[in-house]
Amino acid sequence: MLCAGAVTTPQEFNQSIRELLEVVRTADLDTVDNLDELQANIEAATRAISPSIVPGMRMQAGLALTDYSVGQRDPNVVFDNPNQFFRYSPVIGELNPISPMANFDVVDGQVHGKVTLGATHNGPPGSVHGGMIALVLDELLGCACLVDGRGGFTGTLSIRYQGLVPLDTEVELHGWVDRTEGRKIFAKGEIRLGDEVLTAAEGIFIRAREA
Taking the domains of the chain in order of start, what are their residue ranges? 10-52, 82-206
Q: What is the average per-residue pLDDT within 61-73? A: 64
pLDDT at 108 over 70: yes
From the centroid of its chain, how far is CA 1? Answer: 25
| pTM, two decimal places | 0.91
pLDDT at 73 over 80: no
DSSP letters spanning 49-66: HGGGPPPS---SSSSS--
Residue 167 has what pLDDT? 98
Q: Which residue has the higher pLDDT, 178 or 5?
A: 178
Yes or no: say if 61 and 88 are a contact pair by the CB < 8 Å rule.
Answer: yes
Using 50, 70 and 90 to split pLDDT, how confident is the model at 69? very low
Yes or no: say if 137 and 129 are a contact pair by the CB < 8 Å rule.
Answer: no
Residue 4 has what pLDDT? 57
Using 50, 70 and 90 to split pLDDT, how confident is the model at 5? low
- Encode pLDDT of 124-156 as tens digits: 999 999 999 999 999 999 999 999 888 889 999
Yes or no: say if 187 and 196 are a contact pair by the CB < 8 Å rule.
Answer: no
Q: Which of 3-7, 57-61, 117-121, 158-162 has the lowest mean pLDDT?
A: 3-7
3-state helix, strand, coil in the chain (%, to 5): 30, 25, 45
Residue 49 has what pLDDT? 97
Quote the DSSP letter at residue 94. T
pLDDT at 105 over 90: yes
Rounded CA gap, 210 and 73, in Å?
A: 11
> Under CATH, which number does the domain 82-206 receive?
3.10.129.10
